[in-house]
Chain A
Amino acid sequence: MDTPKNNIDEKQQKGSARRQFLTETVPAATGALVLAVSLGMYQRSARALPAYAIRPPGALAEDKFQGACLRCGQCVRSCPYDVLRLAKLGDDIPTGTPYFISRQNPCRMCEDMPCIRACPSGALGQSLPTIYEARMGLAVLIDHENCLNYLGLRCDVCYRACPLIDQAITLDVRVNRRSGVHTLFIPVVHSKYCTGCGKCEHSCVLDNAAIKILPIEQAKGELGKHYRLGWEEKEKAGGSLIPELLKLPIRRPGDTP
């Protein structure tokens, strides 16, 4: 049985619950929402890694990496050459995530991969049979005007520094048209072998390196999916798919079609 007094109490209680909802819960939720949205937008705006920052070997693709890396720094501590560092608040790299700058200190490609073994979360989780399968980035000889080998000198330092000499970087022999009698030895990078360790960029003798490590998606072009290379198709088929000699109509100037 409800006495009138109980009724009033109940009403008051309901009122105070509503007041609490309006004065506490709603502002709290709104405040949290505002903070969260601004944080999310901040995160979105800074999604891509700057080109100079390279993730350690075995790192997952950048969008996956940011959900996997715990920002603990155990990879940094495990690196025998102090190559890795953690991004600080204010850097244009997500706070606390590991990276290295190959121009300053390149990856030495330890065969036992201590950084990958130290990672607790699987952010450096690509299964690499050996360090040579690592693809941290891709070397690109960007500057064809100042590279000493392009100028006709025998610098070759990037080629010599490469841990996969004659595989990841080869020297392509060309005619030196300037002198007419000399040879150019052009360093050529092969993505099939380049791990992106950065030794070439580190060793480049120019004040600003002519060869640089870039994120692979920035360094490489991509053929349209429908493209077929004739010589590969020919090899696959074991012979030409069309007659070896095509008979094309011959047209001379003055001929009317």
Chain B
Amino acid sequence: MISRIAGREAVQKKGWLKTQKWLLRRRVSQLGILGLFLLGPLAGIWIVRGSFSASKTLGVLPLTDPLIILQSFMTGHTVAAKALIGALIVVVFYAMIGGRVYCSWACPVNMITDGAAWLNRRLDLKKSLSMSRLIRYWLLAAILVLASLTGAIVWEWVNPITIFQRGLLFGMGLGWFLVAAILIFDTFVVRRGWCGHLCPVGAFYSLLGFASILRVKAKQREQCTDCMDCFTVCPESHVIRPALKGDAHSSPVIFSNNCINCGRCIDICPQNVFRFSKRF
């Protein structure tokens, strides 16, 4: 039996809506971005053209995935100005706001892996293969080296983020198998396996947001009752401890650049310990 369902106490204390506040906002953001892309092919309303790897909004605003640009650069290709400007806008935005805000507020795969994590908790699957969270950084290095060795953007052959999003816009092919594989892997093999351990795109945005402004802060950490709900729901649970359980002199701000700024800890805490804040 599940001894404690994370969030139940918060719902009793704060009400359902307040317990889902940031989660609902994130879903609106993720689905909204996807919706803007889908509006073109489905309804013929062309606000955004292209896909996550590169797009143009309202015919003026170019946005480009900086990691793909980096790989393209590694292959030796001279990237055209249009794509560079788009990448620069994305880099500046996420470096300021919070690198992995991309993961929690824009990336469509997050909805799949969040679903897997939820399923994992509901099925009360205690076993989870232990895997280093460092693999993603090595993988990031590997795909860059691979790009320069092969002269091709090899990662894009299998990148689940762009394959999933592009699939919804242009046709999925075998993409559903990839989506199912991630769902199964995250649910049954490694808890938070994809986004929290393997994804080199997440690793890239982690590095990008090392000094970003938006941070979660355990502002009222003295109120903590050690219910562990935040640790249970946090996709990068190692980031909480230093801020929440540090000594009196330590900062209550979550400085780890692995924090994806999803705000689920804020939602789930019955004591309202956490809130969004600035890094300084």
Q: Which of B250-274 contact A (CB under 8 A)?
A: none
Cross-chain contact A24 with B132 (CB below 8 angstroms): yes
A94 CB–B CB distance under 8 Å: yes
Name the CB-closest residue of A to B151. A67
Secondary structure of the A side of the interface? helix
Name the CB-closest residue of B to A29. B138
Report chain B residues within 8 Å CB of A66: 75, 151-153
Report chain B residues within 8 Å CB of A67: 72, 75-77, 147, 151-153
Q: Which of B61-82 contact A (CB under 8 A)?
A: 62, 64-65, 68-69, 72, 75-80, 82
Name the CB-closest residue of B to A77. B49
B134 CB–A CB distance under 8 Å: yes
B242 CB–A CB distance under 8 Å: no
Cross-chain contact A95 with B156 (CB below 8 angstroms): yes
Report the bound CA distance from A191 to B228 in whole Å. 72
Closest approach, in angstroms, between the C-beta of A9 and any C-beta of chain B? Answer: 18
Cross-chain contact A85 with B170 (CB below 8 angstroms): yes
Cross-chain contact A42 with B40 (CB below 8 angstroms): no
What's the count of A-B pairs with C-beta under 8 Å? 169
Binds B, one of A31-39, A159-167, A169-177: A31-39
Report chain B residues within 8 Å CB of A69: 153
Report chain B residues within 8 Å CB of A25: 132, 134
Give chain A's interface residue range (CB within 8 Å of chain B): 35 or more
Cross-chain contact A44 with B166 (CB below 8 angstroms): no
Closest approach, in angstroms, between the C-beta of A218 and any C-beta of chain B? Answer: 20
B162 CB–A CB distance under 8 Å: yes
Cross-chain contact A70 with B139 (CB below 8 angstroms): no
Among B51, B131, B143, B171, find the residue whose CB has the most chain A CB atoms closer than 10 A. Answer: B51
Cross-chain contact B150 with A74 (CB below 8 angstroms): no
Cross-chain contact B150 with A76 (CB below 8 angstroms): no
Give chain B's interface residue range (CB within 8 Å of chain A): 35 or more
Report chain A residues within 8 Å CB of B162: 71, 96
B125 CB–A CB distance under 8 Å: no
Cross-chain contact B166 with A96 (CB below 8 angstroms): yes
Name the CB-closest residue of B to A98. B170
Report the bound CA distance from A76 to B51 in whole Å. 11
Cross-chain contact A121 with B80 (CB below 8 angstroms): yes
Name the CB-closest residue of B to A33. B142
A235 CB–B CB distance under 8 Å: no
Cross-chain contact A120 with B54 (CB below 8 angstroms): yes
B145 CB–A CB distance under 8 Å: yes
Cross-chain contact A122 with B79 (CB below 8 angstroms): yes
Report the bound CA distance from A201 to B55 in whole Å. 33
Cross-chain contact A70 with B154 (CB below 8 angstroms): no
Q: Which of B166-210 contact A (CB under 8 A)?
A: 166-167, 169-175, 177-178
Cross-chain contact B50 with A73 (CB below 8 angstroms): yes
Cross-chain contact B134 with A24 (CB below 8 angstroms): yes
Q: Which of A88-117 contact B (CB under 8 A)?
A: 88-91, 94-96
Cross-chain contact B157 with A88 (CB below 8 angstroms): no
Chain B residues with a Cβ under 8 A of chain A: 40, 46, 49-51, 53-56, 62, 64-65, 68-69, 72, 75-80, 82-83, 86, 131-132, 134-135, 137-139, 141-143, 145-147, 149-158, 162-163, 166-167, 169-175, 177-178
Q: Can you pick out 14 interface pairs between chain A and chain B where the beta carbons lie within 8 Å of each other?
A: A24-B132, A25-B132, A66-B152, A70-B72, A71-B166, A72-B50, A72-B53, A77-B40, A88-B172, A94-B156, A94-B157, A118-B49, A121-B82, A122-B83
